[in-house]
Amino acid sequence: MPKIRIDIRECLFAEPPGGRPLHGDLYQPETAEPNGNPAVVLVYGGSWRSGERAQQKIYGLSLAKAGFVCLAAEHRFSTEAKWPAQLEDIATAVRWLRAHAAELNVDPTRIAISGNSSGGHVALMVAAVTASQQLSLDAEQCGEVSSEVSAVCAFYPPTKLHRLDDATNDDTVSTLLGADATPDDHARASPLSFAAEPWPPVLLLSGSDDARVPVEHTYELHEALKQAGNTVELHVFAGQGHAFDAAADLARVSAAIMVNFFQRYV
């Protein structure tokens, strides 16, 4: 098999007011499609307060081999800035990719998003912004460029934030939203709240034995999206826990599922 060259380089895509510069890893395939390649923004996990973009390397490489331009993007942590800073940062990454579509040979109408765990939550919320008239984001970094996405993939994502800290016995959500967050604040930051809207196609992957984010989060979102007539695909890995794709063999399977899904819908 001939090797496929993939160009990987760092970029600076945002400098939020009062925040640190945000960087991303660009994965650019060897083959350039005449009308622009499809693209995917990749979001790491880490309970919104840790993580690094290198976590997304296997997905960036796999998608780039399939002809996608990928941006594995940073966001501010919850210890640096409260929600919705994380949503704003990743939406800005989508806008940056669209604003630089010509130089990156990206088709600006074919940009998707994927994330793991808390990154999956953020990816779903970017899709919710695409779907819902109840959510809006100011375009501060890239003018009036849209943050719309044409498909979304989420691995073991929190889909409802209310009482999630009780289930995990920590302060992850209260750190993200603030200790004084109300049930309405939790609902506005939860993908499940917007599932009745017309979403772009959604791919969900979870482990059946997830002790960190119960698989019921995925089941409930899947059912709600399906009931609303949205295109949604679900893969549950039997006997697997949270972050099951840290195992190389399961990461390869997951990457193949993701590539197949995005090839059909992006």
Tell me whether residue 157 is in a domain. yes
What does the H/E/C string look like for 131-184? HCCCCCCCCCCCCCCCCCCCCEEEECCCCCCCCHHHHHCCCHHHHHHCCCCCHH
CB 239 within 8 A of CB 206: no
| Assigned domain for 1 exists | no
Cβ neighbourhood burial of 23 (10 Å; 0-12, 13-18, 19+): middle
Q: For residues 27 and 41, is the Cβ–Cβ distance under 8 A?
A: no
Specify if 2 maps to a domain. no
Given a cut of 60, whether residue 132 has pLDDT beyond it is yes
Q: For residues 169, 175, 177 and 179, what is the CA-based torsion angle, rounded to 10 degrees? A: 80
Give the pLDDT confidence score for residue 130 in this predicted structure.
82
d(CA 198, CA 99): 25
Task: With beta carbons less than 8 A apart as the criterion, state whether 162 and 137 touch.
Answer: no
In a domain, 30, yes or no: yes
Q: Could you tell me the pTM of the whole model?
A: 0.95
Residues in the chain: 266
Chain segment 101-114, per-residue pLDDT in tens: 999 999 999 999 99
Whether residue 233 lies inside any domain: the answer is: yes
Q: 51 lies in a domain? A: yes
Q: Which domain holds residue 25?
A: 7-265
User: 233-265: per-residue pLDDT in tens?
Assistant: 999 999 999 999 999 999 999 999 999 999 999
Residue 70 lies in a domain: yes
Say which residue, 5 or 257, is predicted with more confidence: 257
Report the candidate in 47, 43, 44, 45 with the shortest Cα–Cα distance to residue 173.
47
pLDDT, greater one: 178 or 170:
178
Q: Is residue 119 part of a domain?
A: yes
**Pick from 135, 42, 121: which is nearest to 86 by CA?**
121
Q: Give the count of domains, the chain.
A: 1
CATH of the domain at 116: 3.40.50.1820
